[in-house]
Structure 1
Amino acid sequence: MLTIENLNQFYGESHTLWDLNLHVEEGKCTVLMGRNGVGKTTLLSCIMGLLPIKSGSAQFMGQSLFDHSAEKRASMGIGYVPQGRQIFPAMTVEENLQIGLSARQDKLKKIPDYIYELFPVLKEMINRRGGDLSGGQQQQLAIGRALVVDPKLLILDEPTEGIQPNVVQEIGDIICKLNRETGLTVLLVEQKLPFARKVADNFCIMERGKNVATGDISELSEELIKEYLTV
């Protein structure tokens, strides 16, 4: 579904991504792993058009992704949940969700019912301001907003960061449900190994801006964990 080849990116004079390759298989959940500062969020920002690239290519469902603006990439069918959630704190839950409607290809004007079925708390707090929600509730709102786009690919950047354990469990269950029951393709950055093993089919490990190991999640060995993930 998403294939990135020989991607290079710079921050000023600093070379951050080095000839990076990544393949996200349709209908699968791929987890992007690595220690802090290796380029995981930078890669997602490049995919979403939030950072410029120096060279390389990306194909999404047969289309060249880098030929399109960040706004267009959402309407192509990519839902994005950024690190830190980035909801609009002064807007209500409903207003935050409605933002995703503008990117839908079918021009639907109503928030789909299944969003509230996945996240009942959002229905309960529909008129509450986003900034008044707990961290876990804000994360559910951010995921709900990305799903309103009706994505074919859902990208999540550390969805469990700073979230209480019971909500982490709920988010993991929802990712599994979306991926395995509806066939939604998922790419996520995740540091928690138990969570990654629960939700992912495939893994990709980054180190110093490069892809150093990929495979089925069952192949994520203790040797790889010790070499590239242990702090």
Structure 2
Amino acid sequence: MLQISGLNQFYGESHTLWDLDIEITPGECTCVMGRNGVGKTTLMQCIMGLLPLRSGSLLYRGQDLAKLSAERRASLGIGYVPQGRQIFPLLSVEENLRIGLGARPDRSKQIPGYLFELFPVLKDMLQRRGGDLSGGQQQQLAIGRALVIDPKLLILDEPTEGIQPNIVHEIGDIIRRLMTDLDLTVILVEQKLPFARRVADRFVILDRGRLMATGAIPELTDALVKQHLSV
């Protein structure tokens, strides 16, 4: 689905991502893990085209992404839910959802009905301003906005951050349902270990911008957690 090879990225003279080689397997959820500030969000922004690469390649379904804009990547089927949600607080729920429609390959002007099956609260709040929603509802809106484009790859950056536990559990269920029902591939940035172990199939651990470990979730041992994830 996505082949990351020799990826390097800098902020000014600071080398933030170092020669990353990561393969995202189709139909699976890969959890990118690491302590704060190790480059997880930077990597997601590079994949989405919000930050340039200094070197390396990104191949999505065999197509080179390196020179494509974020808008073009979205139209190829890459959905992105950024850290902090970044919905438009003064726009209504419906307007937030409709913003994504322009990136759909089929140019449909209709919000997919299955979104309201996944997130019935959004249907009840279509005319409410995004900024008036609770944190959990805003996260559902952010995921819904990404799904509107009919993605094949969905990037979720810290989707459980600041969310109440019952909504966290619900988001985990929805991620697995999306993978089963829509054959989505998911990249999940997450620091909550129980959530990652429940939802993800594979893990990638970064430390100071370098790839430290990768494998199937059952291979995420206590020793790896202590070495690379414990604060």
Q: Runs of 5+ in structure 1 lacking a partner? A: none
Tell me which amino acid in the other structure corresponds to 1:40.
K
Instruction: Name whichever of 44-53 and 149-158 sits farther off.
Output: 44-53
Give the equivalent residue in structure 2 for 1:28: 28
Tell me which amino acid in the other structure corresponds to 1:181.
D
Q: Distance in 2 between matches of 1:134 and 1:70?
A: 28
Give the equivalent residue in structure 2 for 1:86: 86
Tell me which amino acid in the other structure corresponds to 2:70.
A
Give the equivalent residue in structure 1 for 2:116: 116
Runs of 4+ in 1 over 6 A off after TM superposition: none
Residue 177, structure 1, aligned to residue 177, structure 2: yes
Aligned-pair identity (%): 70
> Tell me, what secondary structure is at the counterpart of 1:84?
coil
RMSD: 0.6
Tell me the TM-score normalised to structure 1 length.
0.99
Q: Give the C-alpha shift of residue 182 in structure 1.
A: 2.5
Q: Give the C-alpha shift of residue 88 in structure 1.
A: 0.2
Q: Distance in 2 between matches of 1:22 and 1:96?
A: 32
Q: Distance in 1 between matches of 2:70 and 2:161?
A: 25
CA displacement, residues 6-41 of structure 1 (integer Å, 9 cap, x when unaligned):
100000010000001111100000000000000000
Q: Distance in 2 between matches of 1:78 and 1:196?
A: 21
Q: Give the C-alpha shift of residue 179 in structure 1.
A: 1.1
- What does residue range 159-198 of structure 1 map to in structure 2 within 5 Å? 159-198=159-198
Tell me the TM-score normalised to structure 2 length.
0.99
Q: Give the C-alpha shift of residue 180 in structure 1.
A: 2.5
> Tell me, what secondary structure is at the counterpart of 2:211?
strand
Give the equivalent residue in structure 2 for 1:7: 7
> Tell me, what secondary structure is at the counterpart of 1:47?
helix
- What does residue range 38-57 of structure 1 map to in structure 2 within 5 Å? 38-57=38-57
CA displacement, residues 25-84 of structure 1 (integer Å, 9 cap, x when unaligned):
000000000000000000000111111111000100010011211110000100000000
Give the equivalent residue in structure 2 for 1:214: 214
CA displacement, residues 133-182 of structure 1 (integer Å, 9 cap, x when unaligned):
00000000000000001000000000000000010011000001011332
Give the equivalent residue in structure 1 for 2:204: 204
Tell me which amino acid in the other structure corresponds to 1:204.
V
Q: Distance in 2 between matches of 1:194 and 1:65?
A: 33
Q: Distance in 1 between matches of 2:128 and 2:85?
A: 17
Tell me which amino acid in the other structure corresponds to 1:107.
R
Instruction: Name whichever of 78-87 and 178-187 sits farther off.
Output: 178-187
Residue 155, structure 1, aligned to residue 155, structure 2: yes
Give the equivalent residue in structure 2 for 1:224: 224
Give the equivalent residue in structure 2 for 1:142: 142
CA displacement, residues 181-203 of structure 1 (integer Å, 9 cap, x when unaligned):
32110001000000001110000
Q: Distance in 2 between matches of 1:24 and 1:195?
A: 19
